[in-house]
């Protein structure tokens, strides 16, 4: 056998087990024991009579009970047959019981006719109907007619033969009455009918319950045989109860008792009850047993076809016997013979018409299926058990490029790609080993040899085949799926590669890193990941467009892929971020491998920083690279995170450089995360406090407004600004519009409005100024209606809230910001521009936005006394504010000489430590009750005076002496102040100028 034949050889499949051996042995022992007893005469005539009558009665009743119990427990199509067999056995049991009553109890001959005779006569009709139930139901009227004709052919032939041999003598009623003669004829006639049904059923029985039906047929056949022997005149004259003939009846009853339970129990079912349904659906496996059964089916079919002719032959033999015996042909024999011949002619005519109809239907179906197979675009192939192709549909010419006739006769294995042959063999063997009902079909995908005439020589097509079993071989329904496989490969490539640069994406890169960390080179310490970011790429998109940016990324990806080795991996992780996996060289020298990787990273940095030629112009970007080594036990996620941290440390170090990861970088990230958690906890636990710093009129010292400043109260009671906490955003950048900043801003605005409303009700109607970023003001979460609702809820009058814009980012859309500010001014909210003079963006905002107050930047105020240039700049800015009709507020006024200088330039208001530091609510109300702070008069330009909150001078600078610079004054003071030094922190701040600006204090150590 060829290799392909070995593939297609089907392994044996285990079927349900045969019925148990123990019941069969018990049945044989019981029947054999009865037969031995009957042959030996049971030892006495009394015991022989008892066993011959009541023994048969008990056996018949046992059969009746067995059939009845089975029919009660199992509900199926054959349930009525077992009930009828139970009724038939009951009649036999009653008849034998009545016979024993006369012979054993009454000790007198059994009268004829008697009740026993009628019971014996009633044995046959239920059995005959039960056999009809067990027969395979015809599917047409012609089938029913043929079944009746077959039964008559068998019965008529047996009647003819029996009449010729014995019944003709019985029918003359020699010395018998009419009832006795009729009873003598009734026994053989009913037996003939029963035998006819047994023979007809033998060839037309249902495939379900085969073993049970065969046992029942054998039981009834044995009973009929004994009845026939009993009906013969020779045996009947010498018959006595308890003789060997009774052993046949006893065995028939015991077989019928065993018949219902003999059905094979199938795996996965509940025995014979589920057998008919499963047997109808099951496709028998091609085992040796099945092959033997299949071989016996043609023999049984031939016998079934010859049955009518055998019946006619028997009938003819009956007539010939009368002729050869020299007797006149009996009218019964003549009539029966003619009807048998007529039934045979009618049956053959019906079968001829049925065959013609079936032939036509078969031809139509064959044409139909031939057109389906030949017209199908799929290739249908039938492989013999030897692996040779026996049939190939014409579609092979269009799919494989080879004629079907060319493929027929070739081995299937020679057409499958050698690399796929082993997998196909394994799948076919597994499929053939499986049960057909569990897995009727399977799918196999492999490469199939295409025709030689295709362009480029021999080709291999991707073919998907549905495989079915077929007489020990296989049927392949195959289709060309080459385009689908190519599309799947393309989709898989697209899913793992970047669409713009065709480099591996983050998912594939992470997979490659995982393979490097867990593969055979997992212990190589020289493996490293390079995280690369293009500095200045955003400016390329903003200046020359996104299309140019895409071209730059494509060129950068090409340079990166060309710069790494064949075993390394270059990838684009997203945006302008790239990565490279550099495999180690096996070196154990830490310094050498670090030098090698840093040299590769620096070479990549230089290569990626070279000018890019885009649309005829040179575009320059730099590359910041972070390097992280694969330490023992590290996983892909932490390794990529370490390289990312190193890259951002390179960007913080000035961009365009290479940084190696150090554990301290991760510690910084943890510290920032802890600070973020502290900020969130402080907000939720109410650890923030709102202080207010007075805004003082420089001309007379009157308090005209207060500025709200948020402070965090530490566990030691020290107040700190949250500025450092707001610098814990991702990648070390300040995120003023982050969630934490927004939450803090909402709290600050709510608290400021609530406390200002309380001061208004207490008789201190001073406006409150709250800093807010322009980004936050444009946030949809803070519409003007929410501010209006806030003012209404707390009852703060119009004009009592001042919003200070804390940033002037040129990227902010001024049109939208202008509409928002106009809507707020309609609500009575005043607008202040904070940090004026710190950049060109403030001038643009001043030109477009509806601003009421200008706040001079602290850097201008710090140098207004010492620098003539800053003096002139500040003077010009104040003239602009005056010309526009705006109030001006100087931020960071800490020294008296600054008050004098600013007032002389036209500044109207000031805020700083020269008046008061940030105050709590109690000290603020005390200051508002006082109403004003002392300010230097017009004649105090020659000396510097530092004022405290109580109006007492703390330090004087005499005229003619060089005033102490602010830096020197601040340098002599302690770094922190608070409750720990025995005085209130705010008062200490007013008594001594602080080290830091008044808008920010120290951050607690972490």
Q: 951 falls in which pLDDT band (50, 70, 90)? A: very low
Higher pLDDT, 260 or 733: 260
**126 pLDDT above the threshold of 90:** no
Q: 136 falls in which pLDDT band (50, 70, 90)? A: low
- CA atoms 159, 160, 161, 164: torsion sign: positive
Average pLDDT over residues 569-595: 87
**199 pLDDT above the threshold of 60:** no
Question: Directed axis angle between helix 79-100 and helix 56-73, to 10°?
Answer: 160
Higher pLDDT, 394 or 338: 394
Per-residue pLDDT of 786-838, as tens digits, reads 888 899 999 999 999 999 987 656 667 778 888 888 989 998 999 998 877 66
What is the bridge-based pairing of β-strands 528-535 and 622-629? antiparallel
Q: Which helix (H) or strand (E) holds 623?
A: strand 622-629
Q: Which residue, chain included where needed, has tokens 């028997």? A: 314
Higher pLDDT, 816 or 973: 816
Closest CA to 428 of 466, 396, 480: 466
pLDDT at 984: 37
Average pLDDT over residues 991-996: 36
pLDDT at 610: 93
Instruction: Tell me if 544 sits within 8 A of 619, measured CB to CB.
Output: yes
- CB-based contacts of 987, cutoff 8 Å, min separation 6: 923, 948, 949
Per-residue pLDDT of 292-302, as tens digits, reads 444 444 544 45
Distance of CA 921 to the CA centre of its chain: 61
Q: Output the average pLDDT for the chain.
A: 76
Please tell me what DSSP assigns to residue 264.
P
Question: Directed axis angle between helix 178-204 and helix 288-324, to 10°?
Answer: 150
Q: Percent helix, strand, coil in the chain (nearest 5)?
A: 55, 15, 30
pLDDT at 221: 78
**36 pLDDT above the threshold of 80:** yes
**570 pLDDT above the threshold of 90:** yes
CB atoms within 10 A of CB 859: 14
Instruction: Tell me if 35 sits within 8 A of 249, measured CB to CB.
Output: no
pLDDT at 282: 39
Average pLDDT over residues 759-767: 93
**By mean pLDDT, which of 16-20, 160-164, 398-402, 491-495 is the weakest?**
16-20
Q: 860 falls in which pLDDT band (50, 70, 90)? A: confident
Alpha-carbon distance 947 to 915, whole Å? Answer: 7
Average pLDDT over residues 940-964: 36
**319 pLDDT above the threshold of 70:** no
Alpha-carbon distance 304 to 308, whole Å? Answer: 8
DSSP string, 876-909: HHHHHHHHTT-EEEEE---SHHHHHHHHHHT--E
Instruction: Tell me if 209 sits within 8 A of 275, measured CB to CB.
Output: yes
**994 pLDDT above the threshold of 60:** no
pLDDT at 967: 32
pLDDT at 733: 41
Phi (first) and psi of residue 854, to 5 degrees? -110, 130
Q: Which residue, chain included where needed, has tokens 């940084």? A: 659
pTM: 0.49
pLDDT at 760: 93
Percent residues over pLDDT 70 in the chain: 71
Average pLDDT over residues 596-622: 91
Higher pLDDT, 532 or 172: 532
**9 pLDDT above the threshold of 60:** no
Q: 155 falls in which pLDDT band (50, 70, 90)? A: low
- Give the N- to C-terminal CA distance of the chain in Å, as an integer: 83
Alpha-carbon distance 222 to 726, whole Å? Answer: 104
Q: Which residue, chain included where needed, has tokens 């530091």? A: 917
Distance of CA 140 to the CA centre of its chain: 50
Q: How far is CA 485 from CA 101, 489, 491, in A?
A: 87, 6, 10
**By mean pLDDT, which of 166-170, 247-251, 662-666 is the weakest?**
166-170
Higher pLDDT, 933 or 116: 933
pLDDT at 332: 67
Say whether the peptide bond before residue 113 is cis (omega within 30 degrees of 0): yes
Alpha-carbon distance 537 to 614, whole Å? Answer: 13
pLDDT at 908: 94
Alpha-carbon distance 635 to 514, whole Å? Answer: 7
pLDDT at 330: 65
pLDDT at 659: 92
What is the bridge-based pairing of β-strands 801-805 and 768-772? parallel
Q: 194 falls in which pLDDT band (50, 70, 90)? A: low
DSSP string, 468-494: EEETTEEEEEEEE-HHHHHHHHHHHHH
pLDDT at 309: 65
pLDDT at 149: 73
Q: What are the structure tokens assigned to 273, written together?
A: 């009850």
Higher pLDDT, 588 or 918: 918
Q: 520 falls in which pLDDT band (50, 70, 90)? A: low
Could you list the beta-strand ranges (E) of 387-503: 389-392, 441-449, 460-470, 473-480
Higher pLDDT, 789 or 743: 789
Instruction: Tell me if 283 sits within 8 A of 437, measured CB to CB.
Output: yes
Closest CA to 427 of 408, 446, 450, 448: 446
Alpha-carbon distance 704 to 888, whole Å? Answer: 12
Sheet holding 389-392, edge to edge: 389-392, 379-383, 473-480, 460-470, 441-449
pLDDT at 311: 62
**166 pLDDT above the threshold of 80:** no
Closest CA to 38 of 244, 303, 304: 244
Q: 41 falls in which pLDDT band (50, 70, 90)? A: confident
Residue 956 DSSP SS3:
strand
Average pLDDT over residues 902-917: 93
Average pLDDT over residues 180-189: 53
Give the CA count within 13 Å in the CB-facing half-sphere of 955: 15
């Amino acid at each position: 056998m060829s290799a392909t034949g070995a593939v297609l050889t089907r392994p044996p499949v285990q079927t349900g087990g045969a019925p148990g051996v123990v019941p069969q042995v018990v049945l044989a022992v019981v029947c054999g024991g009865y037969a031995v007893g009957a042959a030996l005469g049971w030892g006495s005539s009394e015991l022989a009579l008892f066993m011959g009558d009541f023994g048969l009665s008990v056996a018949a009743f046992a059969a009746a009970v067995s059939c009845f119990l089975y029919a009660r427990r199992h509900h199926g199509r054959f349930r009525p047959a077992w009930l009828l067999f139970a009724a038939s056995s009951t009649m036999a049991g009653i008849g034998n019981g009545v016979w024993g009553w006369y012979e054993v109890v009454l000790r007198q001959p059994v009268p004829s006719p008697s009740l026993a005779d009628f019971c014996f006569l009633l044995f046959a009709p239920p059995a005959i109907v039960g056999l009809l139930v067990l027969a395979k139901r015809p599917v047409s009227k012609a089938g029913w007619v043929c079944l009746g004709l077959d039964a008559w052919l068998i019965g008529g032939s047996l009647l003819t033969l029996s009449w010729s041999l014995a019944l003709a003598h019985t029918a003359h009623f020699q010395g018998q009455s009419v009832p006795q003669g009729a009873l003598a004829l009734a026994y053989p006639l009913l037996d003939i009918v029963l035998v006819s049904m047994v023979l007809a059923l033998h060839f037309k029985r249902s495939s379900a319950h085969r073993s049970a039906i065969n046992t029942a047929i054998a039981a009834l056949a044995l009973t009929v045989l004994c009845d026939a022997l009993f009906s013969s005149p020779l045996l009947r004259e010498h018959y006595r109860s308890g003789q060997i003939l009774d052993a046949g009846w006893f065995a028939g009853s015991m077989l019928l008792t065993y018949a219902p339970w003999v059905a094979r129990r199938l795996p996965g079912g509940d025995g014979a009850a589920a057998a008919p349904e499963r047997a109808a659906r099951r496709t028998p496996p091609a085992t040796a047993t099945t092959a033997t059964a299949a071989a016996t089916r043609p023999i049984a079919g031939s016998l079934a076809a010859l049955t009518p002719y055998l019946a006619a032959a028997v009938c003819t033999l009956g007539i010939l016997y009368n002729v050869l015996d020299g007797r006149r042909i009996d009218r019964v024999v003549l009539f029966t013979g003619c009807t048998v011949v007529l039934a045979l002619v009618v049956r053959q005519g019906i079968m001829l018409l049925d065959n013609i109809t079936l032939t036509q239907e078969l031809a139509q179906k064959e044409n139909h299926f031939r057109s389906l197979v030949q017209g199908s675009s799929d290739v249908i192939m039938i492989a013999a058990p030897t692996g040779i192709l026996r049939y190939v549909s014409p579609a092979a010419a269009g799919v494989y490029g080879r004629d079907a006739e060319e493929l027929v006769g070739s081995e299937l294995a020679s057409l499958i790609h050698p690399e796929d042959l082993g997998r196909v063999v394994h799948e076919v063997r597994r499929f053939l080993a499986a049960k057909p009902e569990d897995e009727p079909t399977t799918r196999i995908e492999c490469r199939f040899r295409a025709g030689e005439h295709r362009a480029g020589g021999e080709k291999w097509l991707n073919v998907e085949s549905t495989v079915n079993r077929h007489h020990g071989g296989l049927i392949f329904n195959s289709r060309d799926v080459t385009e689908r496989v190519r599309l799947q490969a393309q989709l898989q490539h697209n899913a793992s590669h970047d669409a713009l640069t065709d480099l591996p994406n983050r998912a594939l890169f992470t997979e490659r890193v995982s393979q490097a960390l867990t593969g055979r080179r997992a212990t190589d310490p020289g493996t490293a990941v390079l995280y690369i970011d293009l500095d200045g790429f955003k400016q390329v998109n903003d200046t020359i467009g996104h299309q140019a940016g895409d071209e730059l990324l494509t060129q950068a990806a090409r340079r990166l892929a060309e710069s790494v080795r064949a075993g390394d991996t270059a990838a684009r992780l997203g945006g302008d971020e790239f990565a490279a996996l550099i495999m180690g060289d096996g070196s154990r020298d830490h310094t050498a491998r670090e030098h090698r990787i840093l040299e590769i990273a620096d070479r990549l940095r230089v290569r990626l920083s070279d000018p890019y030629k885009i649309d005829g112009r040179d575009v320059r970007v730099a590359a910041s690279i972070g390097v992280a080594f694969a330490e023992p036990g590290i996983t892909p996620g932490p390794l990529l995170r370490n390289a990312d941290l190193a890259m951002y440390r390179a960007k913080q170090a000035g961009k365009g450089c290479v940084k190696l990861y150090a554990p301290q970088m991760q510690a910084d990230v943890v510290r920032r995360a802890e600070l973020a958690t502290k900020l969130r906890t402080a907000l939720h636990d109410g650890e923030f406090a709102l202080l207010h710093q007075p805004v003082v009129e420089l001309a007379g010292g009157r308090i005209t407004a207060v500025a709200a400043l948020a402070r965090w109260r530490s566990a030691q009671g020290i107040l700190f600004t949250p500025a450092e906490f707001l610098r814990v955003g991702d990648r070390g950048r300040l995120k003023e519009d982050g969630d934490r900043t927004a939450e803090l801003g909402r709290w600050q605005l709510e608290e400021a409005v609530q406390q200002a409303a309380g001061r208004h009700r207490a008789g201190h109607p001073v406006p409150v100024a709250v800093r807010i970023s322009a980004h936050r003001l444009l946030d949809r979460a803070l519409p003007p209606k929410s501010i209006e609702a806030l003012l209404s809820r707390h009852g703060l009058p119009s004009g009592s809230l001042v919003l200070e814009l804390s940033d002037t980012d040129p990227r902010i859309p001024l049109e939208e910001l202008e509409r928002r500010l106009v809507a707020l001014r309609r609500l009575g909210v005043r607008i202040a521009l904070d940090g004026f003079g710190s950049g060109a963006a403030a001038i643009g905002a001043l030109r477009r936005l509806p601003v009421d107050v200008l706040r001079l930047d602290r850097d201008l105020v710090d140098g207004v006394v010492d620098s003539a240039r800053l003096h002139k700049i500040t003077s010009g800015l104040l003239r602009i504010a005056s010309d526009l009709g705006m109030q001006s507020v100087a931020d960071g006024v800490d020294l008296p000489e600054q008050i004098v200088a600013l007032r002389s330039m036209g500044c109207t208001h000031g805020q700083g430590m020269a008046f008061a530091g940030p105050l709590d609510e109690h000290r603020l109300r005390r200051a508002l009750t006082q109403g004003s702070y002392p300010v230097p008069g017009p004649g105090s330009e020659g000396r510097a005076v530092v004022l405290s909150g109580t109006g007492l001078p703390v330090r004087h600078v005499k005229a003619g002496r060089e005033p102490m610079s602010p830096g020197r004054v601040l340098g002599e003071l302690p770094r922190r102040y608070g409750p720990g030094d025995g005085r209130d922190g705010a008062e200490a701040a007013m008594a001594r100028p602080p080290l830091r600006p008044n808008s920010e204090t120290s951050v607690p150590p972490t």
